[in-house]
Structure 1
Amino acid sequence: MLNLKQTSNVFLAAGSTDMRKSIDGLAIIVQMNFKLDPFSDALFVFCNAKRDKLKLLYWERNGFWLYYRRLEKGRFKWPNNSKDKVIHVTERELRWLLDGLDINQKGVHRDIMQRKII
């Protein structure tokens, strides 16, 4: 079962990915193109060119999870104009993306890192 709270890191593959790729093909992209470990505690997210399909790759203890989402109407607000091959996002930004929102929300309350009582 997908629990986004479990993942410490979420990485989006910038641009589009061939959705014919399965677990091994996506893991190779993570390892070779992103220079990241597909066996780490991270969730890797891929989108097709039409922006209506997503695949999520996640390693758990002894095997990979591969989640697939296809929208019947609408498109994901997938970041395309990044100079990087991979974009690190928060679990909150991934939820926005899955809900059809842009990951760069204007006016959102940011997390407070300083925790000090005055």
Structure 2
Amino acid sequence: MFGDISKAEKIYIACGYTDMRKSIDGFAALVQRNFQLNPFQNSLFLFCGRRHDRLKALYWEGDGFLLLYKRLEKGKFQWPKNAEAVRCITCQEFRWLMEGLCIDQPKAVKKLNTSDCFSL
């Protein structure tokens, strides 16, 4: 289906700011070169401009790339500022980001990694 990003297995956010003049090829090259990730994997890659009021998302649909663009009329995205980094975020963190919230919610209950737990 055209533009069904809900099928993405992982969501990556490019921290800092990105030149928003890039197109599909530019973002795919950035994913490969700067983050050493495969843009053809079933993942959503998010990029934000310097003003933090617009973002672009790159997604491989199996037969071609989809480039989504969102511009806020008021407000800014609470975008992580540590430049030159990529970060994998959860679906919940993605929702927070789209709602204008910080992805690092200090009071959010974090999911446990079951491999870190032991049986009683």
| Partner residue in 1 for 2:117 | none
For 1:19 and 1:2, the matched residues in 2 are separated by 22
Alignment RMSD, CA only?
1.9
- The one-letter amino acid paired with 2:76 is R
TM-score, normalised on structure 1?
0.88
TM-score, normalised on structure 2?
0.87
| Partner residue in 1 for 2:47 | 46
| Partner residue in 2 for 1:2 | 4
User: Are 1:58 and 2:59 matched, yes or no?
Assistant: yes
- The one-letter amino acid paired with 1:11 is Y
Unpaired stretches in structure 2, ≥5 consecutive residues: 115-119
User: Are 1:11 and 2:12 matched, yes or no?
Assistant: yes
The superposition leaves residues 89-108 of structure 1 with CA deviations (integer Å, 9 ceiling, x where unpaired) of 11111111011000001221
Question: By how many angstroms is 1:3 displaced?
Answer: 3.5
For 1:23 and 1:43, the matched residues in 2 are separated by 13
Unpaired stretches in structure 1, ≥5 consecutive residues: none
| Partner residue in 1 for 2:103 | 103
Deviant stretches of 4+, over 4 Å: none
The superposition leaves residues 68-101 of structure 1 with CA deviations (integer Å, 9 ceiling, x where unpaired) of 000000000000036x521111111111101100
> Does the 8 Å contact 2:5/2:44 carry over to 1?
no
Question: What fraction of aligned residue pairs are identical, expressed as a percent?
Answer: 47
Question: By how many angstroms is 1:112 displaced?
Answer: 4.3
Correspondence list, 1:83-98, <5 A: 85-98=85-98
